[in-house]
Amino acid sequence: MKNAWKVLGRCGRLIVSDFHPLSLITELKNGKVTFRKSHFDQSPEVCKPRENVPPSVEFVWKLSDIINSAIQAGFRLDRVEEFYVDEPDGAPFIPNNFLLVATKESADQLIESKRSARKLSA
């Protein structure tokens, strides 16, 4: 997120659309959603999606981690949506995608936002 903040111009928009973290740790078995690991387990996993595709190492971050990294980088959150996109093996009971839209604040806006946040927490 910090690199995106550096690259975007003043008032630039960040749009992140990705798999929802819950969809990466759940499976649908006999019509029931089961967890293959804890939602809080962020240890790396080796993933080999298909034959003839080299394995990769993946981290499953919580949605709050993704949101907080955008905030800490200096973005103002405009919208966060969780939704389900129909998949043959998916579980329509939980979101499998999310969308985050944020704006790069100018230095003045960022300072004012931090002041306001301090006043609220005091």
Instruction: Indicate the Cα dihedral angle 112, 117, 119, 122, nearest 10°.
Output: -160
Q: Quick one: tokens of 94? A: 């939980």
Pick from 24, 54, 27, 29: nearest CA to 42: 24
Domains and CATH numbers, the chain: 2-121 (3.40.50.150)
Q: Note whether 68 and 97 are within 8 A (CB).
A: no
Mean of all residue pLDDT scores within the chain? 87
Residue 73 is predicted with a pLDDT of 93
The predicted model scores a pTM of 0.77
Q: Report the amino acid identity of residue 29.
A: K
What is the chain's pLDDT, residue by residue, as a tens digit (122 residues)?
Answer: 899 999 999 889 999 999 999 988 988 888 888 898 999 999 999 988 778 889 899 889 999 999 999 999 999 999 999 999 887 777 777 899 999 999 998 766 666 766 777 777 77
